[in-house]
Chains A and B, each alone.
Chain A
Amino acid sequence: MKLNINGKPVEVAAEPDMPLLWALRDVLGMTGTKFGCGASFCGACTVQLDGEPIRSCQTPVSAVGTGKITTIEGLSASAWGRKLQDAWVALDVPQCGYCQAGQLLAAEALLRTTPKPSDADIDAAMSGNLCRCATYTRIRAAIKQAAVS
């Protein structure tokens, strides 16, 4: 099966119904996308499909088709992605860091469509992504910093 991941064609030897999460992690060795709950509660596995944040644990590889997948490993190809990564580092957002790949993919999609997000916009876009360390205060601040940088 052929997928387009981070702008490159990639051959994936996976069962058609294998969730994209496991194809990325275990078949392709791209471990930046994280397993959290396996049921869309936590958002740790968030990637983008044609720019839209999706839960890769709920998306069979066969459903991806020719769509363009962006993972955390490819986030810096986006100008917003780079601004967010820099803000995340500078404001020292991560504690354990496990959820942050998913947070960043969700935040990049937000800024691309809403470059100057309000607090309500941030709540709406980010509330699907759990942070067990509860770094929400800094995630919010980093999104705002990236938006003005």
Chain B
Amino acid sequence: MKASRREVLKAAALAGGGLSLGWQLSGAKASVPGALSAFVIIGADGSIRITAHQPEIGQGVKTSFPMMIAEELDVDWNQVTVEQAPGNRAVYGVQLAGGSSATPTQFERMRRLGASARAMLIAAAAKAWNVPAAEITTGSAMLHHKASGRSARYAEMAEAAASVTPPKPESLALKDPAQFKILGRRIPGVDNRKVVTGAPLFGIDARPPGLMYAAFAKSPVFGGKLKSANKAAALAVPGVKALFDIAERRDLKTEIDVGLPGIEVLPQGIAVIATNSWAALRGRDALAAEWEGGDAAFQSSEAWEAAATRAWADGAQKPAYINHGDAPAKMAGATRRVKADYRYPFLSHAALEPINATAHVKDGKAELWLSTQTPEDARRMVALALGIKVEDVTLHLMRSGGGFGRRLMNDFAVEAAVIAKAAGVPVKLQWDRGQDFAHDWLRPAGWHRLEAGLDANGNIIAWHDHFVSFGKDGVLNPTAVIDASLFPSGVIRDYRADLTVLPFASTLGWLRAPINNAFGFVTQGFIDECAAAVGRDPLEYRRTLLGTPRAIPIAEEFSGETKQDAKGTPYNTGRMRGVLDKAAAMAGWGRKLPARRGMGIAFHFSHLGYFANVVEASVAADGSVTVHGIWVAADIGKHIVNLSGAENQVQGSVIDALGAAMGQRISFADGAVEQKNYGDFPLARMNEAPPVEVAFLSTDYPTTGLGEPAYPSVAPALAAAIFQATGKRLRQLPFDTELLKA
């Protein structure tokens, strides 16, 4: 991301006297120098405005990024107002809410921007007062020269600062963290007051003048064709104004941020335009549209289950998917072998704000109001679909009512734009909850047949996995790829995985802690079984497995998200042991517990974050599970940007993972998703949410992100707790509590 772009600091004078400082970008992504961004605006009136450019999806970035700038600008947080930037990469640089990537890639960039503005204000004051810049100090948006007793507000020097040549940001000294006044504190979200008073914030709240409302009838089976529809009945619904047949199929092979080779979008169906969403949705229902065929008509969860177990029975494929060391030889020489089969389902994102998009297409230009995690992708895809220039797509970046990876895709933006073009007026496309489930980009299901070879002491010396998941033409979908650098690879040196790819013809995507969210359950669950098989303590067993604190080098050929980590911090067993020990200490590991109550522990590394957690749970005679507490230890490096937001992210991720483990499953029959609403895809509720205690270890490593890495270690720790409570091992997500009856 960094290499393809050059950015230069540029200042501008504000009308009325003031400083605006931002980046001007050029490079591969913007062939001509882009417009000047305004990340920091210091008005002559004393106002200090900071632009938040990242998509806010609930991860708190609209607060945490401006905090980074404000800290180095050396102003008080209550002196700052924050404004949301529109989506425009040529102006703001990368705008992406995904992969927990924003903080690790932009922490320094944001700090250096704030430091640059401060340096320019100091330079202006030094000139005005004719004193050395090095003698000027700052604080609370004030400049001071102690020797001469002079002081000025930033506002007074802003106009003069605008004509100072911006410094090279990398030349500036950043604050000593001991001097931080904003970073590391608990700062409430900048939009909290708007949230609690119901102010319009989200994509679904957009109401441009002349807005009409659209619903879209489309095939529940991906690629299905319209067979029949009762258009007269739809037009008879009060409020319905027009119907449009939309029959396009767009394979948008464009360079996009979401890491998939191409996005196939199907604006195929009937758009119903009405005076309100309810009429539009009723009109859609009145169509009673029937569909036939479709690429995905063969899809069936039952058939896939049979195919996966058949693949296991047929045995290993050649060549191996991952092959380190010599697992077969080590397995043959093992004192003991442990075998188990693990399974996990497709998952939907189920964000609470149902998919929607508002678009106005006129005179070769498009305007979008969008809850999206990838605004630049949305602009590019809409431009391609409409045959217009990216520069002619204006995107108002709205707060997302949940993302979780769903809003990395912009199929809905393309649909809305195509419909708005047909309608000729601004249109808000609204999916209902059933469509949100039916047309999601799902977390792929998977199967793992595992075998471990143990030495005479019971330690794992060989690992074999026959992995079955989904793709096309024998190629695994990127969202299912088990990266060859993922634990236990490297730690267990003799490690082989075989792969069988089952065909999938609708849409797979990224879901919070993608790949890891399932693989963490599989690996940690199985390690727990190995410990139990030889009668060892699950904590001690894991500590022994991790071994002496060391960095496991990451091989050249390894690809995927951990590649970024390969440059600075390969898998560090010491950091993992640090969080493992901390979580155990927090929970009081080894405490005596009543009957049918147990504690389980697990760890996982993903998205550059080291996490371990202990779950305490009890199981009633009827099999129902109660979680009494969860203790989480996290190592995401040196700084916690916003302690309040960070703790909230972890607690939320953990309870989210708990909900998924206890009941979430997407299944297919006759080609279509079977789940229609939250009634058959349950999320955790208040009465199921246990206390979650969180500790952050501060270690001397770069600061990394938090939207995802707390999730993967929860389900295996719960399964382990249930095993301690009942002696029954759960190897399939979601958990079948029928198996737990006394």
Question: Using a CB-CB cutoff of 8 Å, which residues 180-233 of chain B contact chain A?
Answer: 186-189, 191-193, 195-202, 204-205, 207, 213
If the complex has contacts A34-B401, A85-B196, A95-B649, are A134 and B59 also in contact, measured as CB distance less than 8 A? no
For A92, list chain B residues within 8 Å (CB): 186-189, 192, 644-645, 648
Q: Are B199 and A132 in contact (CB under 8 A)?
A: no
Of chain B, the residue at the smallest CB distance from A97 is: B195
Bound-state Cα–Cα, A19 to B278, Å = 8
Known: A92-B192, A97-B201. A127 touches B686 (CB 8 A): yes
The docked-state distance in angstroms from the alpha carbon of A126 to that of B685 is 8
Contact of B198 among A33, A36, A88 (CB under 8 A): A33
**Among A44, A85, A92: residue with most chain B CB under 10 A:** A92
Residue A100 at the chain B interface, CB threshold 8 Å: yes
B192–A89 CB distance below 8 A? yes
Q: Do A126 and B188 have beta carbons less than 8 Å apart?
A: no
Which residues on the B side are within 8 Å of A29 (C-beta)?
Answer: 207
B679 contacts A98, CB within 8 Å? no
Cβ contacts under 8 Å, A88 to chain B = 192, 195-196
Which of B200, B402, B659 is in CB contact (< 8 Å) with A31?
B200
**Complex: how many Å from CA A44 to CA B198?**
12
Question: B687 in the interface, Cβ–Cβ < 8 Å?
Answer: yes
Chain B residues with CB below 8 A from A19, complex form: 278
Determine which residue in B198, B652, B692 has the highest number of CB atoms from chain A within 10 A of its CB, and name it: B198
| Complex: A38 Cα to B403 Cα, angstroms | 20
Interface residue? B432 (CB, 8 A)? yes
Q: Are B59 and A34 in contact (CB under 8 A)?
A: no
Whole-angstrom distance between the Cβ of A71 and the nearest chain B Cβ: 7
- Is A111 at the interface (CB under 8 A from chain B)? no
Contact across chains for B652 and A135 when beta carbons are under 8 A apart: yes
Q: If A15-B238, A29-B207, A134-B651 touch, does A36 touch B684 (CB 8 Å cutoff)? A: no
A29 → chain B, closest Cβ, in Å? 6
B342-378 CB mask vs A (1 if < 8 Å, else 0) is: 0000000011111000000000000000000000000
On whether the beta carbons of A96 and B196 are closer than 8 Å, the reply is no
B187, B278, B654, B656: residue with the most chain A Cβ atoms closer than 10 Å: B278
B433, CB-defined interface residue at 8 Å: yes
- Pairwise interchain contact B678-A72, C-beta atoms closer than 8 A: no
Q: Report chain A residues within 8 Å CB of B399.
A: 96-97
Does A42 have its Cβ within 8 Å of any Cβ on chain B? yes
Bound Cα distance A129, B678 (Å): 12
Which residues of A sit under 8 angstroms from B689, Cβ to Cβ? 134, 136-137, 140
Q: How far is the CA of A91 from the CA of B433 in the complex (A)?
A: 30
B491-534 interface mask toward A, CB cutoff 8 Å, 1 = contact, 0 = none?
A: 00000000000000000000000000000000000000000000
B315 CB-CB contact with A under 8 Å? no
Contact A35 B277 (CB under 8 A): yes
Bitwise, A40-51 to B at CB < 8 A (1) or not (0) is 011010000000
Question: A72-105, CB under 8 A of B: which get 1 and which 0?
Answer: 1101100000001100111111111111110010
CB neighbours of B679 from chain A (8 A): 39, 41
Q: How far is the CA of A76 from the CA of B652 in the complex (A)?
A: 27
User: Does B239 sit at the interface, judged by CB under 8 A?
Assistant: yes
Residues in A103-133 with C-beta less than 8 Å from chain B: 104, 122-124, 126-133
In the docked arrangement, what's the CA distance between A18 and B402, Å? 27
Q: With A and B bound together, what is the CA distance between A72 and B195 in angstroms?
A: 9
Instruction: Establish whether residues B656 and A134, one from each chain, have CB atoms under 8 Å apart when the complex forms.
Output: yes
Is B702 an interface residue when CB atoms closer than 8 A count as contact? no
Contacts of A131 in B (CB 8 A): 352
Given A34-B401, A39-B677, A39-B679, are A134 and B197 neighbors across the interface (CB < 8 Å)? Answer: no
Say yes or no for A25: interface residue by CB 8 A criterion: yes
For residue A138, CB closer than 8 A to chain B, the reply is: yes
Task: Say yes or no: A99 contacts B684, CB within 8 Å.
Answer: no
> Does B198 contact A101, Cβ atoms closer than 8 Å?
yes
**B198 near A27 (CB under 8 angstroms)?**
no
Instruction: Please report the C-alpha to C-alpha distance between residue A128 and residue B682 in the assembled complex, in whole angstroms.
Output: 12
User: Given the complex of chains A and B, what is the CA–CA distance between A18 and B653 in angstroms?
Assistant: 36
How many Å from the CB of A35 to the closest CB on chain B?
6
Residue on A with the closest CB to B206? A31
CB pair A134–B659 under 8 Å, yes or no, is yes
Name A127's contact: one of B401, B652, B685 (CB within 8 Å). B685
Give the interface residue-count category, chain B: 35 or more
651-665 of chain B: CB within 8 A of chain A: 651-656, 659
Q: Is the CB of B652 within 8 A of A72?
A: no
Q: Is the CB of B205 within 8 A of A31?
A: yes
Select from chain B the residue with minimum beta-carbon distance to A140: B686
Per a CB cutoff under 8 Å, which of A32, A139, A140 touches B197? Answer: A32
Contacts A26-B277, A100-B195 given; indicate if A39 touches B683 (C-beta within 8 A). no
**Cβ–Cβ < 8 Å partners of A32 in chain B:** 197-200
| B400 on interface, CB distance cutoff 8 Å | yes
- Tell me if B276 counts as interface (CB < 8 A to partner A): yes
> Does B60 reach chain A (CB closer than 8 Å)?
yes
Within 8 Å of chain B (Cβ to Cβ): is A1? no
Q: Is the CB of A97 within 8 A of B191?
A: yes
Taken together as a complex, chains A and B put the C-alpha atoms of A26 and B204 apart, in Å, by: 10
B691 located at the interface, meaning its Cβ lies under 8 Å from any Cβ of chain A in the complex: yes
Q: A132-B683, A134-B689, A137-B689 are in contact. Are A95 and B677 (CB under 8 A)?
A: no
Contact, CB under 8 Å: B278 / A18: yes
Cβ-defined contact, A38 with B189, below 8 A:
no
Asked if residues A136 and B354 are in contact (CB atoms below 8 Å), the reply is: no
Whether B58 sits at the interface, judged by CB under 8 Å, is yes
Residue pair B686, A139 in contact (C-beta under 8 Å): yes
Given the complex, which residues of A lie within 8 Å of B189, measured CB to CB?
92, 94, 97
Chain B residues with CB under 8 A of A124: 687
Q: Is the Cβ of B202 less than 8 Å from the Cβ of A98?
A: yes
Query: Any chain B CB within 8 A of the CB of A63?
Result: no
Chain A residues within an 8 Å CB radius of B60: 95
- A104 to B194, alpha carbons, bound, how many Å? 13
Instruction: Give min CB distance, B666 to chain A, whole Å.
Output: 16
In the complex, whether A37 has a CB less than 8 A from a CB of chain B is: yes
Nearest chain B residue, comparing its CB with the CB of A122: B686
Could you say which residues of chain A place their CB within 8 Å of the CB of B353?
Answer: 34, 36, 96, 98
Q: Could you say which residues of chain A place their CB within 8 Å of the CB of B191?
A: 94, 97
**Which residue of chain A has the shortest Cβ distance to B659 in the bound complex?**
A134
Q: CB within 8 A of A137: which of B238, B404, B651, B678?
A: B651
Q: Which residues of A contact B401 (CB under 8 A)?
A: 34, 96-98
- Do B655 and A134 have beta carbons less than 8 Å apart? yes
Q: Cβ of A37 and Cβ of B648 under 8 Å apart?
A: no
CA distance A29 to B741 in the complex (A): 51
B537 CB to nearest chain A CB (Å)? 30
Q: Is the CB of A137 within 8 A of B644?
A: no
Q: Which of B428-483 contact A (CB under 8 A)?
A: 430, 432-433
- Considering the chains assembled together, what is the distance between the CA atoms of A128 and B645 in angstroms? 25
Answer yes or no: B423 CB below 8 A from chain A CBs. no
B57 contacts the other chain (Cβ, under 8 Å)? yes
Q: How far is the CB of B44 from chain A (nearest CB, A)?
A: 30
Interchain CA distance A127-B238 in the complex, whole Å = 36
Residues of B within 8 A of A25 (CB): 277
Nearest chain B CB to A70 CB, angstrom units: 11
CB-based contact B652/A95 at 8 Å:
yes
In angstroms, Cα B685 to Cα A124, docked, is 11
Q: Are A38 and B432 in contact (CB under 8 A)?
A: yes
Tell me which residues across on chain B come within 8 A of A94, comparing CB atoms: 58, 189, 191-192, 195-196
A-B contact pairs, 7 of them (CB 8 A): A36-B433, A38-B432, A39-B433, A88-B192, A97-B399, A100-B196, A133-B58
Closest 3 interchain pairs by CB?
A32-B198, A96-B58, A98-B401
Extra contacts, 14 of them, besides A32-B198, A89-B188, A134-B684 (Cβ < 8 A), are A32-B200, A37-B354, A72-B198, A85-B197, A96-B399, A104-B196, A132-B352, A132-B402, A134-B651, A134-B654, A134-B655, A134-B659, A135-B651, A136-B689
